[in-house]
Amino acid sequence: MVRRGPGGDDDRGHIRIRYTVYVNPVTAKSRYTGNSRDLEMTMKKIEFARATLADAAYAQIAEGILTRDLDPGARLLMDDLAARLGISRTPVREALHRLEMERVIEPNGRRGYSVRELTDAELDKQYAARNAIEPFALAEVARRGGAAARLVRTTFEELSHAPQTTAMEVFLVNKEIHRCTVEALDNEYLLSMFDVIWQTAMAASVWADILENGTAGDFVEQHRPIAEAAESGDPELARRVALEHIVAGRGLHTAHPMAPVA
């Protein structure tokens, strides 16, 4: 369940950076998004506010990757990023390490990284992993009903009104509706595996594509069956709905066509 919280604007200098706080009441954690309008991914100095410096650096770099301002192979030099953001190397190092752990970037030279190229085969593996987790989770939610099903319904209703005006927002909203089906099971091991899979998917171009082609507005129609399946009391129906949704989602990655089925 995502709730839009206080954010901030800072338009001093030659670029405007907007930060928005997304608060998940279930986990009581905040997520910050950044929006860079410069095609060359120009960054401005960060001032400490609500976000930690590492969170703010992470948000700007992640937004650049999601929007493809930072294409696969783009170099990310720690000293350069620190200078452009106006902060020390320590929070930049933390942000880059987090992105490396999420398999979004990879080491490239001394104190440097590059944006990873997501291959067709790797994307197929990601979706195979999703097939192993999310249909099970939704089926289990349907079997349990009660609070688990209510969490999925409530999250869906709130996300139906959540903004999707940046690639980061598209990514977070889509991630959250699927994450809540796993979160409802109160199983930290499944949730950890889910997060690893989805954060790696940040490197995919599909989120910017959804924003550009206007299909972000189809969120309600595309995800209502998940909420209904959670409330159905029919685990097999729920499993089938989740599988069909994941297969349809894989087809959206036009830059990475699916491997032919033998």
CA distances from 144 to 148, 180, 184 (A): 7, 14, 10
The DSSP secondary-structure symbol of 118 reads P
Q: What is the pLDDT of residue 6?
A: 41
Q: Are strands 105-107 and 17-24 parallel, antiparallel or unpaired?
A: unpaired
Report yes or no: 46 and 19 within 8 Å, Cβ to Cβ: no
Q: What is the pLDDT of residue 180?
A: 98
Rounded Cα gap, residues 122 and 130, in angstroms: 12
Rounded Cα gap, residues 15 and 44, in angstroms: 7
State the sign of the Cα–Cα–Cα–Cα dihedral 50, 52, 53, 58.
negative
Closest-CA residue to 188 (of 7, 26, 22, 1): 26
Q: What is the pLDDT of residue 151?
A: 98
Other beta carbons less than 10 A from residue 4's beta carbon: 14
Rounded Cα gap, residues 197 and 7, in angstroms: 28
Q: What is the pLDDT of residue 200?
A: 86
Domains (range + CATH), the chain: 3-115 (1.10.10.10), 120-250 (1.20.120)
Angle, vertex CA 126, rays to CA 177 and CA 132, nearest 5: 70
Q: Are strands 3-4 and 105-107 parallel, antiparallel or unpaired?
A: unpaired
Residues 6+ apart with CB under 8 A from 218: none
Beta-bridged to residue 29, according to DSSP, are: 24
Per-residue pLDDT of the chain (262 residues; tens, 9 = 90+): 444 444 444 433 333 333 333 334 333 343 434 443 333 455 666 555 445 899 999 988 998 898 888 888 999 999 999 998 899 999 999 999 999 998 899 999 877 899 998 888 888 999 999 999 999 999 999 999 999 999 999 999 999 999 988 888 999 999 999 999 999 999 999 999 999 999 888 878 788 888 888 777 789 999 999 999 999 999 999 999 999 999 999 888 766 666 655 4
Q: What is the pLDDT of residue 215?
A: 78
Residues 6+ apart with CB under 8 A from 55: 32, 95
Q: Which DSSP string do the residues of 46-59 spell out, in sequence order?
A: ---SSS-HHHHHHH
Closest-CA residue to 2 (of 155, 117, 189, 143): 155
Rounded Cα gap, residues 251 and 262, in angstroms: 17
